[in-house]
Amino acid sequence: MDTIARMAKAQEITFDSLRPPAPWMDDTHSIWRKSVRAFVEKELVPHIEEWEAAGQIPRDVYPKAAEAGLIGMGYPEEYGGAGTDFDRFHGTVTSEELARMGAGGVSSALMIHGIGLPPVMVGGSEDMKREIAPQVLSGKKQISLGITEPGGGSDVAQLKTSAKRSGNGWVVNGSKTYITGGCTSKWLTTAVRTGGEGMGGISLMLIDLEAEGVSRTALPKMGWWASDTATIHFDDVFVPPENLIGEVDRGFVSIMANFNGERLGMAAQAAACARVCIEDAAAWAQQRQTFGKRLADHQVIRHKIAAMCQKVWATTAMLDQLTWRVQNGEQPIAELAMLKVQATETMEFCAREAMQILGGAGFIRGHRVERIYREVRVMAIGGGSEEIMRDLASRQLGL
């Protein structure tokens, strides 16, 4: 009996066993994993189908997540955060444990501040940080990120939404689309054109989504049902001068730096989703009988599981190594772009193979693999499509 068959027979193929040890993780990461898992199992998992049907998660879930330290992880206590003793690997643990639900819509809704708030904390004024951060990190309010437009997404340097000088402030016109949390967020960290063409004319501004001239259109989606998504329209929206984030016409660099962190988190999420697929497929293969024996006793099924494990372990090793490099101050843009592709391709492969093993059982609503299968595309496109990531990597490599 080969290794995979022995593992399946001993019921050793689990979400946890599929995670290779990381030499940079210690007891604090294990403790944090247990804490996050306990919160997810108690407060989130029992309600997934309800929230999927509703198209959003209830507002009262956010303060609970804040109390558990989930929302404020890594943010300074003086701004209402849970402290800065967290490192990049604690972030990886968080992404993995949220992905374990097999409900990307729930985690994206709950954690959208992870890409909307950092630009405020890095480039915002002290007054802005003290006004916005405590409300977001306590779970009272929500902040999203607005980069993509109806006319383009990955080519950030060509964005069209404009901000023109008006008195002592700005007037914004244009649209942003595919905005996670766009229907429910109070604020939008928004990329606007304040100068000429290209990357040199882009600025970041904090826009109050309840301001006059802002309208929102909800967008129904293939996956991530529990997370609302919207197109946001700006019609002569006045933005006060204190809502500028960083310097005028210097927003492009901040946007790109923000993308690096987003891609690292998405890679951790995608690799963890792949582990979920293997866990559920292996469990089904041990109990499902075909032609007088378990699915796990058919060589073709064992080989499928072996190939899935191979891709997950390779992806996780790359994830951990790049997480360590980023934690130590590097910005390996090419490698992060390739990691994002590696992770989403692994997720897609494992989702497909798991569905093949599960058969009709995986096609039924409420199954983790069914949800993950629907969510593959948003992971492969969001944060930079696979095609754009390969092109970015090749240019960074000097080609």
Take residue 71 and report the two structure tokens written for it.
Answer: 């929302």
C-alpha triplet 205, 211, 217: angle, nearest 5°? 90
Who wins on pLDDT, 209 or 7? 209
Task: Please state, in angstroms and rounded to a whole number, the distance separating the CA atoms of residues 268 and 275.
Answer: 11
Cβ-contact 395, 337 below 8 angstroms: no
Q: What is the pLDDT at residue 151? A: 81
Mean pLDDT of 285-311: 90
Burial 178-211 (b: 16+ CB within 10 A, else e): bbbbbbbbbbbbbbbbbeeeebebbbbbbbebee
User: How do residues 376-396 score in pLDDT, each as one tens digit?
Assistant: 999 999 888 999 999 999 999
Dihedral angle computed from the Cα positions of residues 182, 187, 190 and 195, in that order, rounded to the nearest 10 degrees: 140
Task: Answer whether 206's CB lies under 8 Å from 237's CB.
Answer: no
- Sign, CA torsion 251/328/384/232: negative
CA separation for the pair 360, 77 (Å, rounded): 49
Amino acid found at 124:
G
Q: What is the pLDDT of residues 345-359, one digit of tens each?
A: 999 999 999 999 999
Find all residues with CB under 8 Å of 16, minimum gap 6, and list them: none
Full-model pTM = 0.92
How much is the average pLDDT of 228-249? 96
Mean pLDDT within 260-284: 96
Q: Where do runs of H (alpha helix) occur along 61-137? A: 61-67, 88-99, 104-110, 113-116, 118-123, 126-137
Q: Using alpha carbons only, what angle is made at residue 228 by residues 227 and 230, rounded to the nearest 5 degrees?
A: 140
Bridge partners of residue 216, in order along the sequence: 232
Query: Is the confidence at residue 9, as pLDDT, over 70?
Result: no
The residue-averaged pLDDT of 239-255 equals 92
The per-residue pLDDT for 292 is 80
- Look at residue 238 and give its three-state secondary structure: strand
Read off the pLDDT band of 111 (50, 70, 90). very high
- pLDDT of residue 3 exceeding 60, the answer is no
117-126 mean pLDDT = 95
Task: Give me the mean pLDDT over the 220-249 stretch.
Answer: 96
Determine the residue type at 208.
Answer: D
Q: Within the chain, how many helices (H) and strands (E) appear?
A: 14, 10
pLDDT, mean over the chain: 93
Q: Tell me, what's the pLDDT at 208?
A: 97
What pLDDT, on a 0 to 100 scale, did the predictor assign at position 153?
Answer: 66
pLDDT tens track for 174-215: 999 999 999 999 999 999 999 988 888 999 999 999 999 999
Percent of the chain with pLDDT over 70: 97
Distance (Å, whole) CA 70 – CA 376: 24
Helix (H) / strand (E) element for 375: namely helix 368-381
> What is the C-alpha to C-alpha distance for residues 292 and 65, in angstroms, rounded to an integer?
48
Amino acid at 58: P
Q: What is the pLDDT of residue 126?
A: 96
pLDDT bin (cut points 50, 70, 90) of residue 11 is low
Coil vs helix vs strand at 154: coil
Integer angstrom CA distances of residue 150 from 11, 231, 236, 261, 294:
48, 8, 18, 24, 50
Is a pLDDT exceeding 70 seen at residue 6?
A: no
Residue 1 has pLDDT above 50, yes or no: no
Helix (H, G, I), strand (E, B), or coil: what is residue 187? strand
Give the pairing type, strands 202-208 and 229-239.
unpaired
Tell me the three-class secondary structure of 43-68, residue by residue: HHHHHHHHHHHHCCCCCCHHHHHHHC
Give me the domains of the chain, ranges plus CATH numbers. Answer: 27-138 (1.10.540.10), 143-249 (2.40.110.10), 253-397 (1.20.140.10)
pLDDT score at 14: 95
Q: Are 314 and 243 in contact (CB under 8 A)?
A: no
DSSP string, 271-312: HHHHHHHHHHHHHHHHH-EETTEEGGGSHHHHHHHHHHHHHH
